[in-house]
Amino acid sequence: IAGFTAVELQQVVDDAYTKYKDLDEGKNADYIPILTETPSNLFGVVIATCDGQLFTAGDIDYKFSIQSVSKPFTAALIMKQQGPEAVYEKVGVEPTGLPFNSKMALEIYDDRSVNPLVNAGAIASVSLVEASDEERRWAKVLQNLNDFSGTNLEVLDKVYKSEYDTSWSNRGIANLLYNYGRLYCDPEEALRVYTKQCSVGVSAKDLGIMGATLANGGVNPLTNKEVLPAEHVPELLAIMATAGFYDESGEWMYSAGLPAKTGVGGGIVAVVPGKFAIAAFSPRLNEAGNSIKAMKAIRQISGELGVGVYGAN
Ligand code: GLN
């Protein structure tokens, strides 16, 4: 499989799991109150290959909120519907070098929303989805996530409520974008659909398949459905490589060499183009809002297999 045997792939997953299982640095996200309730010790590691095989260890079926790991997939939906120019012109593709919820980025960059992987650009992305009303907008966003995962995903209602009830920061971002003509539907509608998108429950396995769909040129390995035309996959991976870890994106690319996306629910998915995805989940985060164990596990696997996109590191 992709130049490796099944035994080798299972071995690196097991090694990474064992190595970091007992690490307890960092803490659950708490600005979304309910996320403090996720058991902090959960940890799962998955390799999902382009032909749909899974190599797993740990808590790989536990459903957690996808949070920002959803962002590249909705950017993919915009690319598919409207072409990559729409993302470039109406959202932006520049890394901010700033935290995911930065309001300063909105003021210092002319394109305001900056890129689809920070909150501003992700809220702008859902506002771009072509839909006649909020219900249809949401249905398209969810269908797209379902297509990437090959399953029927569901919103974790308690997460949605907890986040929407405390969404003052994202509401501020949505309103600022609207003020600058960089939001393309009603701000509160965009905020609700974005928050729902972030509250979708996924397992580490689901994230693995979502990433494997990108590794496989946009075709879901379980359903064989083309979710994103292959020609747009490189643009999407480029955004993930430059902005997937927010203000830690440089450090991540430097040390792991893989386009990836993190979320404050504790999930991360990294893509090895043409081969497989590596996904991991663990709730404890560092200061930048990235899962410490998931990050370490994926970096370790990338290094052991030597699959960094710029060469083995
Ligand atoms: N829904 C979260 C927020 O908007 C997503 C942030 C994240 O995962 N980094 O704050």
Q: Are residues 244 and 173 part of one domain? A: no
Spatial contact of 280 and 46, defined as CB atoms under 8 Å apart: yes
Taking the C-alpha atoms of residue 111 and residue 173, their distance in angstroms, rounded to an integer, is 14
Q: Are residues 278 and 241 part of one domain? A: yes
Q: Does the residue 311 lie in any domain?
A: no
In the chain, the number of structural domains is 2
125 is in an annotated binding site: no
Contacts of 166 (CB under 8 A, 6+ apart): 31, 32, 33
Q: Which of 198, 213, 239 is the last residue of a domain?
A: 198
Taking the C-alpha atoms of residue 206 and residue 269, their distance in angstroms, rounded to an integer, is 10
pLDDT of residue 313: 67
Question: At 141, which CATH number?
Answer: 3.40.710.10
310 is in an annotated binding site: no
163 is in an annotated binding site: yes
| R_g over Cα of the chain | 18
Taking the C-alpha atoms of residue 217 and residue 237, their distance in angstroms, rounded to an integer, is 11
Taking the C-alpha atoms of residue 278 and residue 48, their distance in angstroms, rounded to an integer, is 6
Domain that holds residue 132: 68-198
Token pair 């609207």: residue: 178
Q: Cα of 311 to ligand 1 centre, how many Å?
A: 31
DSSP-derived secondary structure letter, 75: H
Task: Give residues (CB < 6 A) around ligand 1.
Answer: 67-68, 100-101, 119, 163, 170, 198, 263-264, 289
- How many alpha carbons lie under 13 Å from residue 217 in its C-beta half-sphere? 5
Q: What is the pLDDT along the chain (313 residues), one digit of tens a residue?
A: 889 999 999 999 999 999 999 999 999 999 999 999 999 999 999 999 999 999 999 999 999 999 999 999 999 999 999 999 999 999 999 999 889 999 988 888 888 888 999 999 999 999 999 999 999 999 999 999 999 999 999 999 999 999 999 999 999 999 999 999 999 999 999 999 999 999 999 999 999 999 999 999 999 999 999 999 999 999 999 999 999 999 999 999 999 999 999 999 999 999 999 999 999 999 999 999 999 999 999 999 999 999 999 988 6
Q: Where are the beta strands (DSSP E) in the chain?
A: 44-49, 54-58, 64-65, 154-155, 200-202, 260-262, 267-272, 276-281
Taking the C-alpha atoms of residue 251 and residue 153, their distance in angstroms, rounded to an integer, is 32
Q: Does the residue 44 lie in any domain?
A: yes
Q: Which of 170, 198, 226 is the last residue of a domain?
A: 198
Buried b vs exposed e over 183-221: b needs ≥16 C-beta within 10 Å? bbbebebbbbbbbbbbbbbbbbbbbbbbbbbbbbbbbbb
Q: Are residues 155 and 81 part of one domain? A: yes
264 is in an annotated binding site: yes
Distance (Å) of CA 87 to CA 83, 117, 120, 257: 7, 11, 13, 24
Q: Are residues 164 and 50 part of one domain? A: no
Closest atom of ligand 1 to 195 CA is 1
Q: Cα of 235 to ligand 1 centre, how many Å?
A: 22
> Which of 119, 169, 195 has most ligand 1 atoms within 8 Å of CB, for mutation?
119
Q: Are residues 207 and 103 part of one domain? A: no
pTM over 0.95: yes
